[in-house]
Amino acid sequence: MSEYLSKEEIKQWRSSLEKITLEEFAARLGKKIEESKPTNDLVDKVLKGKPVVSYDTTYKQTHAERLSAIAERAFEREQQIAPTPFSISKIQTPEIKKVKPEKTVKKPDKPIDVKPKKVKSLREEVRVVFKKALTDREQKVFDYFTQHKGETVYAKDLAELLDLPRDYVYKYIKNLRAKIEGDKLENSEKGGFVLNI
């Protein structure tokens, strides 16, 4: 018979309802608790059982500072790229240039106002504010709606456009409704969808 507690006896102590210490349990059985065996681990030899504590707080500070700096730059860039409804007044509009006429032409009393050529873009033609950025497929669906604004667009047309089954198209319409500010994408009385801008 062993003089130390076996694993089964320790399990018995853990499962017992009686509240006694392991030492008391071992004493009742006339046995001892086996002390921890020495290890040959290099970590245990070097540290001698003491925990390792790092007091270097510079890493945490610089890491947090780097993250906040990146977040600030991203926020500023986002403000430049996609204005919010509150910053719509910050959008730069082209200024009217005053052009002086050539000498051969009869000089008018006032300078002629000439507007610069406008670059046609979807953003200038359509003033739609999105709550979130669109995915590629959502952008395709939105472009199709803008090409057919005010007209009824059917799910089968969008399914052909995206090369998907018709049932999958409704997800993109639902997402567009959620991302477009206001009720601009409505159900048509004919059974399709209409973009009213």
What are the pLDDT digits (tens) for 25-53? 888 888 888 777 767 777 777 777 777 77
177 and 185 Cβ atoms separated by less than 8 Å:
yes
Rg (CA), the chain: 38
Mean pLDDT of the residues in the chain: 75
Return the structure tokens found at 70. 């990146």
Please tell me whether residue 11 adopts helix, strand or coil conformation: helix
Distance of CA 128 to the CA centre of its chain: 22
DSSP at 5 = -
Higher-confidence position of 114 and 168: 168
Amino acid at position 3, single letter: E
Secondary structure, 3-state, 97-139? EEECCCCCCCCCCCCEEECCCCCCCHHHHCCCCECCCCCHHHH
Task: Pick the closest to residue 138 from 162, 154, 120, 116 (CA basis).
Answer: 162
Give the predicted TM-score (pTM) of the model: 0.38
192 and 154 Cβ atoms separated by less than 8 Å:
yes
**Span 153-178, pLDDT tens digits:** 998 998 898 888 888 888 888 888 88
Question: Tokens 């007044």 appear where?
Answer: 89
Secondary structure, 3-state, 70-88? HHHHHHHHHHHHCCCHHHH
d(CA 31, CA 28): 8
Rounded average pLDDT over 176-185:
83
Rounded average pLDDT over 60-83:
75
